[in-house]
Structure 1
Amino acid sequence: MDEKPEIQSDVCFLVGQERQEVFAHRCLLACRCNFFQRLLGPKLGSGMPSPVVLSTVPAEAFLAVLEFLYTNSVRLHRHSVLEVLTAAIEYGLEELRELCLEFVVKVLDVELVCEALQVAVTFGLGPLQERCIAFIEAHSQEALRTRGFLELSAPALLSLLRSDKLRVDEAELVLAARSWARVGAAVLERPVAEVAAPVVRELRLALLAPAELSALEEQNQREPLIPVEQIVDAWKCHALRRGDAARGAPCRRRRGTLPREHHCFLDLPFK
């Protein structure tokens, strides 16, 4: 492996959006990794064949993969480990995948956790997803302010909103969900309410005080986010004030829910 041409190298990769040249050895890659065996195939003729374009993997992550294939070890870094993990999964490198997972858990912090959660949800990494959710439950307000939170997919955000252990009040969660939906709407060029539809059902509007619910209803008329019937259901909890009419997740307090007068009519607080 070398970032500069060598006589011994017989394959060239153009890696990442910048198409960085990376030279390597076909035989070694094919022996160590089935992905490269299929990708490269048998060498035909002499000389250097046409470069292989790998535009979706960042150069730094690809170099880490090659380092692992050549040395059976790897130097991981906090800022790129999730990209290396993604490459390891896509290339079927189980040992490198495990090394990356161990490293992510060691360096997990507020800035990294939402990005790690997204990778975990995307690739079905259950233990990592549980670790990330537990970390966000303990540092909810800080995590909700990160760019990684705004870039979560709907399934990843759903996994958070279903938690009773978030240390954040519902009013803040509503604001965070609106910010998330606005970003998604801008990227996808779709209405905010359409982007928000898969996740807003997990917002527990009945936890809001009547004045907060009225303000939310007015804002919802200016910028639709939450289905009208969901707001109506929240008002029903306030109007009926009966335990049997205020049960289930929409009325269940989270760990960070601030106390309000009407909460005495809802489900027992989280313990």
Structure 2
Amino acid sequence: MTDHYAQLDLEGSRVGTWEFTDTECYRLDSEPRRGGLHHYTAADQDALWTLLGEKNGWYKEGPTATFHRLDLFAGKFHRRMARPEQPGRGRDNIWYPGEAEERTTIAKARGQLAVLTRKLEELCQTVHPEGTNLDVYGHDIRNLLILASTEVEAHWRGVLTANGQVLERPNTADYVKLAAPMRLREYSISIGAFPWLGPIAPFGNWGTTGKPTQELAWYAAYNETKHDRDGQFPRATLRHAMEAVCASVVMTVAQYGLERALGDGSLLIANYALVDTPDWKPADLYTPPYDAAGWTGVPFAF
């Protein structure tokens, strides 16, 4: 059996990457790997951990651990899912190793998000987004809600398809599978043009009650007003349209990282700020490849 581990220092920062088999372990990020200073052999894994110094503080698991088993081997990543190289939080703490293959997809997503942002700002020049005004509804607001929500659906379907899911008529029972691996519930967004508004967490409780459509108020409103405009027109509120636009921001960032998703130095990245971001665990980390094979995308096991 072979496993890869991230080695952390006592402050929780990653300082090394190790490969373990049943009888040996060595650091992948140092040369020489075998036969070098960081190469150990023993009769079995228990003896290996003892040799490393487990009894003196080099623990395999728990909150004070210095070694953490990685979910993915070095050089592996899940398609269209951004993750960090270091544990913890941070607006710049995630990136996507497969971005070169997704340049066209990223450009299209960024272009569509620019359209959504422009339409939202135009609406808010007529209806000031504050207080009870957020519950105003109308045709242009409904159109933005529908456009932003279908963009989020496109992201959802794209991620599932990239990871090998074959879906003829997907719905939120399928889409909600993304909430946990992409840590969508942990993101919140502030909009620079409206600093008086609090952070928006468009996926705040998604996947927590077994009712994935109703858990997203903006998405439920989109479904209702799309299928029954006359009866559900009041559901197409400015609040829900704004949440749907922020959901599109979160989905783009969660796939490609902040700078790649919004464009370093662009108006988009200036307009949206990540207030809350996922607390990534050591097991979640992406690890650079240490051989000529380079990065390889692997499907997420939903």
Length-normalised TM-score, structure 1: 0.27
Length-normalised TM-score, structure 2: 0.25
Larger Cα-atom Rg: 1
| Structure ranking higher in helix proportion | 1
